[in-house]
Amino acid sequence: MSTAEPRSIVAILLIAFGLTARYVTEPPVLKRRGVDVVGVSLVGVTLLTLVHGVAEAENGISRLHAWLPLVISAVAGVLFVLRERRTPEPVLDLSLFRSGPFAVAALASLTLNFLVAGFGFALGQFGSVTLSLSPRTIGLLFLPGTLAIAVAVILAGRLIGKYTPRPVLITGLLVMVAGGLLMAATASPTMALWIVVLAIWLTDLGSLVASSAVAETILSHAPRGKSGAVAAVQPAFGMTGYALGPAVYLLLLSLFFQRQWLDDADARGLSVTEAKEAVDAARSAMAHSPGTAGYDPNLLRQSGLDLGLDFTNGLRLTMLVVSLLPLALAVAAYLLMPRRTRTAP
């Protein structure tokens, strides 16, 4: 499992924040004040070190390479908040988060992209390691249902105008929960591909439907003349989630997979050392044979472990845990976002 992908996404995120600061946050009459370079830099340091620390935590949170970036990220985040509260032209207007609906929508934007990016990464790992699928086949799994999703997004836009963003956002989040729970309940080394396609379809459908409600909610909080700055919150938080998703999924997969093969070894009477050697050998065999998907069956028989099943169980636990995020947001949206108001006769 490579950590290169989660870290490389941060570069795109930094570019997005830079463009936001340059072209959006400054009203035309104040352009001469320049970009809040310090604020943008603090955002970059916070996110870069956070993703790096989470990725390194796979090898142990007590290692210097893991906890030091996380500490730097926390310090930079605090400094960013303090600066944004004092500067006259902040990169991000923190007062917007005093509104419950706005805060829910911003967090939803982060969560949607977090789940989509993380699920795609986890599916790539599971498809190649356990299901022995080629990268091309894994990519094709995302195609079915695309037209239906496009129609659903158009319908969601119309429903927002009729019923407010609240029910549309809740529906989208619950559809994503259904996709995650489907994988958590049915994942197996021999699972049917149509179930994988259905889980992908539910995740993508829920994400895009909820995104429509997120955009409407965020824009509705834009003060006069500040619509561009407020609208930039959605892609900024979305890219943050997109950067964190693969790193966090990788960490969870690694932790749960390790727990599973340790339990597997204990049930079979193998020592931790023997089990670790078998896992390392299997990983090494895959690294030296990138064109071959799946673990070597002969190697599995020699080790006495069922690593394919262990990895699958790790994926199921990962999907179960991350499914709590959209569920919690759906509850928050139900409680904090305004209901449909009755029009006067």
The CB-side HSE value for 154 (13 A sphere, CA atoms) comes to 6
Report d(CA 111, CA 118) in Å as an integer: 10
Residue with tokens 């870290």: 7
Report pTM: 0.82
Report the amino acid identity of residue 244: L
**Per-residue model confidence as pLDDT tens for the chain (345 residues):** 444 455 555 544 554 444 444 444 444 444 445 567 888 888 889 988 998 898 888 888 888 888 999 999 999 999 999 998 888 878 788 888 999 999 999 999 999 999 999 999 999 989 988 888 888 888 888 888 788 888 888 899 899 988 999 999 999 999 999 999 999 999 999 999 999 999 999 999 999 999 999 999 998 988 877 777 788 888 889 989 998 999 999 999 999 998 998 888 888 888 888 888 777 777 666 555 544 444 444 444 445 677 788 889 999 999 999 999 999 999 999 999 988 654 434
Angle between helices 233-267 and 100-129 (to 10 degrees): 40
**Tokens, residue 338:** 């305004």
Report d(CA 297, CA 153) in Å as an integer: 44
